[in-house]
Amino acid sequence: MQALTGKIAVITGGNSGIGKATAQLFAQQGAKVAITGRRQDVLDAAVAEIGSGVVGIQGDSADIAQHTRLVREIRQRFGELDIFVANAGVIKLAPSDKVTVEDYDHQFDVNTRGVFFGVQAILPLMRDGGSIILVSSIAATKTLDNHAVYAGSKAAIGAFARAWALELKARKIRVNVLSPGPVETPILDKLGVTAKERPDFVKAMGDMIPLGRMGLPADLASAALFLACDAGSFITGIELTVDGGMSLT
């Protein structure tokens, strides 16, 4: 039997990278999946690639009104919800003395505020016994150059998860954090890594990781599946680090 048969899952930022890989795996494991993304064309392409069992709902996680629209869509399409993966995130690296107010606000709006109010909005739809997975980063606990604002925006995620794990215990809703290390996703392009530079960049990052390579979206999707399905049914309030051992260095 598939691990998520009969389950309804929502994955924010599910149109690329970790989110898309998680949506693919969840659908393969029998879930009906809704993914969100800001750009309709990218969202449509992801839905077409993933195939049956997946629907796309356009929206920006930084927009609080989007959460209300998302809840309305999920209620109309599925009625209830079992799994919520708060995956949408943004990053803008800069030394602290170069951070602009706009860059600061944007990262906290998506990575922190969007997660908080996204979970708040979907809770009335969640069935008892559901699973909430908040995607953070090892940057929240490991000091990395030029990551101060991003790290701060992600560090709050762990605090949310611990609080919610206790607040929701009566409903048996589990809340956990998934913290990736460096992962080969399209976000590398946004960080300014060109196609020509990518092989050298990936090798250099791999040399910094005890297991000798960067993570792949599928690595994180497998971890998310564990937290979402019955195999992780006795786990709540933890941070699952998936980084090939980079946090040890």
The whole-number pLDDT of residue 148 equals 97
The pLDDT tens digits for 46-89 are 999 998 889 999 999 999 999 999 999 999 999 999 999 999 99
Local confidence band at 200 (pLDDT 50, 70, 90 cut-offs): confident
CA geometry: angle at 16 spanning 210 and 5, to 5°? 90
**How far from each other are the two terminal CA atoms of the chain, in whole angstroms?**
40
Cross-strand partners of 8: 32
- Whether residue 136 contacts residue 239, with contact meaning beta carbons closer than 8 Å, is answered with yes
* Residue 190 binned pLDDT confidence (cut-offs 50, 70, 90): low
Q: Is 104 one of the annotated active-site residues of the chain?
A: no
Q: pTM, whole model, 2 decimals? A: 0.95
Treating both helix axes as pointing N-terminal to C-terminal, what angle do 40-50 and 17-28 enclose, rounded to 10 degrees? 30
From the candidates 26, 84, 150, 164, give the one annotated as an active-site residue: 150
* Of 190, 188, 208, nearest in space to 199 by CA: 188
- Residue 194 token pair: 């060109």
The residues facing 222 across adjacent strands are: none
- Residue 186 pLDDT greater than 80, yes or no: no
Domains of the chain: 8-186+217-243 (3.40.50.720)
